[in-house]
Chain A
Amino acid sequence: MSVDLANDYAQQAIADALSQFCAERYTEEGRREGADFPRDLWRELGLLGVLALGTPEGEGGACEGVAALEALGAGLFPGPLAATFFATQVLPEAERARVSRGEWIVALGEPPLLPFAALADCHLAVVGDKLLRVEPSSVEALETLGGEPWGRVEFSGGHGLEATPRAWALHDLALAAYGAAAGLALVAVTAEHARSRVQFGKPIGDFQAVAHPLADARVRLDAAATLARVAAHAWDTDAPDLRAHAAAARLSAARAGLDAAHTCHQLFGALGITLEGPVFRFSRRLRQLASGAPGEAGARAALLAQRGLS
C-alpha cells in the first residue's frame, strides 16, 4: 500500500467517539475558569481504553493514539495526556494498569515544578537524563497560565526508571497530535469569524492582511499534524529513528500552535483579548504545551543526532 494519511475505519471510529465524548461530556460548566479537574471524565477516558493505546493490553498503537489525541485536542480536553502515555511505557505492569485505566493521575516534569502535582498519584521527575519515580514530601499548589493545577514539589531520593526512546517518542507524538489538532480547531474558529465579521463593507477575510496569516497558520499546523502521523507510524513499526520523528512533530506543533495562537488573537480584534472570546482557551493550552512539557532538550538532541551531530 502506498501513502495514505487518512484514518482507517477503526481510527476514524475512535476519533468520532471521542469528538462526541468531548462535545457531550466536557461542557461549558467543566470548561469555566477555575473549574476543578474533571477526574470522573479522566476515569471514563480510561474505561474507553484511550489511555491504554500503545500498551500490550491496549486495542491499538500510536496511530490509534493519534486519532484519539486529535479528537481530544480539537475539544481541548484537559489533563496530563502525554505524561500518561509516557508513564504507560515506563511503569511496571501493575502500576501501568492503574494509569491506563484512568485511576491514577500522572505528574511528569522537571522539578521543582511538576504539572498536576497536587492531584497526582504517580510523580515522575526528569532530572538531566535520568527519570525518577518520587514521593514528594511537600507540594505547594500553583496555577499556571494554561489553567492547569501544578505544584512546586520537594522530595528526596527516588526510584530510577528507564526512560526509553520509545517512551519519549510516544510522549512527544502525543503532544504533537493534540497540539496540532487544537491549533487547527482554533484556525477553523477564526476562519469562521473572518468569513462573518464585516468591516469596510466586506468580510474581513477578504483582506489579504487577514487571510494570509491565517493561511500560514493552517499550512504549518497541517504539516505538524502530518508529522505526528509519520511519528506514530514510526513508533508502531519500531523504526530506528522513531525518537527523531516524534521530536520533529513535537517541536513543529509547539511552534506552529503558538504562532497560530498569536495570529488568531490578533485577527479577532477586541474579541481576541476578552475572557469570553474564543481564543484564550486555545492559546493558553497551546502555550502550556509548548513550554510546560519535559524532554525538549532530549528531543532536540535526537533531531541533531539523526543528522550526524551528536
Chain B
Amino acid sequence: MNPAFSPEEEAFRAEVRDFLADYRDLDAFFLQGHRWERVRAFFAALAERGWLSLGWPVEAGGGGKPLSFEFILWDEVAYARAARNPLASGIVAKTIARHGDASQRERWLPPIRRGEIHFSLAYSEPEAGSDLAGLRCRAQRRGDAYVVDGQKCWQSYAQDMDYLWTLVRTGEAGSRGRGLSLLIVDKHSPGVTVRPLPTLDGDQLNEVFFDGAVVPVEQRIGPENGAWALMGEALADERHIQFPPGRVRRDLEEVIDWTRARGLESDPRVRHTLSELAVRVAEVEASALRVVDAMLRGASGAVEAAANKVIHTVVCQEIARAALDFGGPDALVAGERVELLWRQSLWETIGGGTSEVMRGVVARQGLGLGGRG
C-alpha cells in the first residue's frame, strides 16, 4: 500500500515546477482561444525538453516513461493554469504510433513531437453527441482519396488547429460503430469551413462543415471501418491525464485567496464551507490517484477514470458555486476570477463525456448494473 510517488517521480515534479515558473502568467488553461500563439510557443518549449512525447514508445521517438510521469507533468501544467494537454501528442500520436503504417509514422510523429502541428478532435455532430456511433458525416472513396461531406459540432480549439482528427462514416448508413473510419483532414483544404460557437466562459467551440473536402487515402489512420476499436484504445491511452486534480486544487486556492482578500475568511459559515470543499478536493486527488494506480497495474482504468471525471467536474462546480454563494455582489462583477470559474465550470460536466455517460460506465462496469433505459 503506497499512495506516494517515487523519489524519481517527485524529482521530475520539481523539475516541471521549475520549468513552469516562466509560464504562470500564460493562464491559458481557460480561454486558450485568446492566447493560442503563446500556447503554441509553450508547447514548443515542452517539446524541446521531450515532454510532449514523454510517454510515447521509444521506437516512436518518445521518452518511453511510465504513465505516472505524464500524469505528473499535466497535473502540474493544470495547476499552473498554463494550458490543457494537447490532443496531437496524446490521442493522435499514440494512435498513429500503434496503428499507422511506417510512412504515416514518419510523416506525422516527428512534427507532432516537435510541437509544430496541432490537432482538434472532430467527432461530435449535431445529432451525435453522447451517442457517437450514430454519426452521419460521410466519407466516400474516390480513387486515392475520400470525399467528405457533412457537419461536425462543438469542436474545441478548431479555430486555431492545423488538422482535424475526424471520425467519419465510411460504412453503410446504420452500421453504427462498425462503419466508422478516422481521417486526418487539413483544416485549410478546400471544402472545410470552421465557424465559431461562442461559449459561456468567453471562449468558443466550433462547428465544422465539410463540403466535398478531398482527403488523400494515406491520411486514413487504421483500417477502413475499423475506427471504433482505435478510439477505445486512444481513450484508454489518455485516461490518466484527463481531468488532472491540479486544476481543482488551484480552483480552491484561488477561491480561498479571493475570500481572504475580502475579509470573509473568519466567517464561520464560510470556514465550514471551505473545509467541506477541502475534503472534496482531497476526494478529487484520491480519484485521480486511483486512475494512475489502476493503469500502472495494467488494468484499463475505465471505471476509475469515469469516477474521476464525475467527481472532478462536480467539485469544479461546487467550488465556483460556493464562492458565488458567499461572495455576495462582489462575486458577480464581470472579470472577477470567481465569476469566470462559475461560467467555465459549467462546461466541465458536459465536455469529454457527460456525467450521465460516466455514471453509466460506473454502473455497468463497476456495479454490474445493465441497460441504459
| Interfacial residues, chain A to chain B (CB-CB below 8 A) | 1-8, 11, 63, 66-67, 187, 191, 194-195, 202-203, 205-208, 210-212, 214-216, 218-220, 222-224, 226-227, 229-230, 232-233, 237, 245, 248-249, 251-252, 255, 300, 303-304, 306-309
Given contacts A3-B296, A208-B372, A216-B359, contact A307 B256 (CB under 8 A): yes
Q: How far is the CB of B164 from chain A (nearest CB, A)?
A: 33
Instruction: Known A215-B363, A220-B283, A222-B290; judge A205-B6 contact (CB<8 A).
Output: no
Selected from B256, B272, B311, B356, the residue in CB contact (under 8 A) with A212 is B356
Question: By the criterion CB–CB under 8 Å, are A208 and B1 in contact?
Answer: no
Is B198 among interface residues, defined by CB-CB distance under 8 A? no
- Chain B interface secondary structure, helix, strand, loop or mixed? helix
Give Cα A303–Cα B280 distance, bound, in whole angstroms.
11
Contact B68 A303 (CB under 8 A): no
Q: Which residues of A contact B370 (CB under 8 A)?
A: 195, 203, 205-206
Residue A8 contacts which of B1, B260, B297 (CB distance < 8 angstroms)?
B1
How distant is the Cα of A249 from the Cα of B88 in the complex, in angstroms? 37
| Complex: chain B residue closest to A202, CB-CB | B371
The 7 lowest CB-CB distance pairs between A and B, nearest first, are A206-B371, A205-B369, A248-B282, A211-B363, A226-B286, A215-B362, A223-B283
Contact B283 A5 (CB under 8 A): no
A-contacting residues of B (Cβ < 8 Å)? 1-6, 9, 66, 68, 252-253, 256, 260, 265, 271-272, 274-276, 278-279, 282-284, 286-287, 289-290, 292-293, 296-297, 304, 307, 310-311, 356, 359-360, 362-364, 366-373
CA distance A189 to B284 in the complex (A): 26
Q: Which listed residue (A11, A191, A202, A226) contacts B367, Cβ 8 A?
A: A191
B265–A309 CB distance below 8 A: yes
Known: A3-B68, A304-B275. A211 touches B293 (CB 8 A): no
A3 engages B292 (CB within 8 Å) = yes
Q: How far is the CA of A224 from the CA of B310 in the complex (A)?
A: 15
Q: Are A2 and B367 in contact (CB under 8 A)?
A: no
Q: A1 — which chain B residues lie within 8 A by C-beta? A: 2, 6
B260: chain A residues at CB < 8 Å are 309
A/B interface sample: 15 pairs, CB < 8 A: A4-B296, A203-B371, A208-B359, A211-B360, A211-B369, A212-B363, A215-B369, A216-B310, A223-B311, A227-B283, A230-B3, A252-B279, A255-B279, A300-B271, A309-B260
Given contacts A208-B373, A215-B362, contact A307 B283 (CB under 8 A): no
- The CA of A203 and the CA of B283, in the complex, are separated in Å by 31
Smallest Cβ distance from A202 to chain B, in angstroms? Answer: 7
> Could you say which of B4, B276, B283, B307 contacts A3, with CB atoms under 8 Å apart?
B4
Considering the chains assembled together, what is the distance between the CA atoms of A218 and B156 in angstroms?
31
The listed residue with most A CB atoms (<10 A of its CB), out of B1, B3, B260, B278, is: B1
**B6 lies within 8 A of A226 (CB):** no
> In the complex, which residues of chain A have a beta carbon less than 8 angstroms from the beta carbon of B363?
205, 208, 211-212, 214-215
Candidate in A7, A220, A232, A306 with the most chain B CB atoms within 10 angstroms: A220
Which residue on chain B has the smallest CB distance to residue A248?
A: B282
- Among residues of A, the one whose C-beta sits closest to the C-beta of B7 is A1
Most chain A CB neighbours (cut-off 10 Å) among B278, B284, B290 = B278
- 12 additional contacts (CB under 8 A) given A4-B293, A211-B364, A237-B4: A2-B66, A2-B68, A4-B2, A5-B289, A206-B373, A208-B373, A211-B369, A218-B362, A226-B287, A245-B282, A248-B283, A303-B279
Indicate if the CB atoms of A2 and B296 lie closer than 8 Å: yes
Q: B369 and A194: CB pair below 8 A?
A: yes
Closest A-chain residue to B66, C-beta based?
A: A2
Give CA–CA (A227, B68) in the complex, Å. 19
Listed residue (A3, A191, A195) with the most chain B CB atoms within 10 angstroms of its CB: A3
Residue from A2, A6, A202 with most neighbouring chain B CB atoms (10 Å): A2
**Contacting residue for B278 out of A187, A195, A303, CB 8 A:** A303
Interface residue from A5, A224, A304 paired with B1 (Cβ < 8 Å): A5
Q: Could you tell me the distance in whole angstroms from the C-beta of A206 to the nearest C-beta in chain B? A: 3
Q: What separation, in Å, do the CA atoms of A214 and B364 have in the docked complex? A: 11
Most buried by A among B363, B366, B372: B363
Task: Identify A215's interface contact among B284, B367, B373, CB under 8 A.
Answer: B367
Give A6 to B299 CA distance when docked, in angstroms.
13
- CB pair B275–A207 under 8 Å, yes or no, is no
Given B253, B283, B366, which contacts A224 in the complex, CB threshold below 8 Å? B283
Which residues of A lie under 8 Å from residue B292 when comparing CB positions? 3
Q: Are B271 and A248 in contact (CB under 8 A)?
A: no
Q: Are A233 and B2 in contact (CB under 8 A)?
A: yes
CB pair A229–B3 under 8 Å, yes or no, is yes
Residues of B within 8 A of A251 (CB): 275-276, 279
With A4-B2, A191-B368 as contacts: A220 and B311 at CB distance below 8 Å: yes
Q: Which of B272, B274, B278, B287 contacts A223 (CB 8 A)?
A: B287
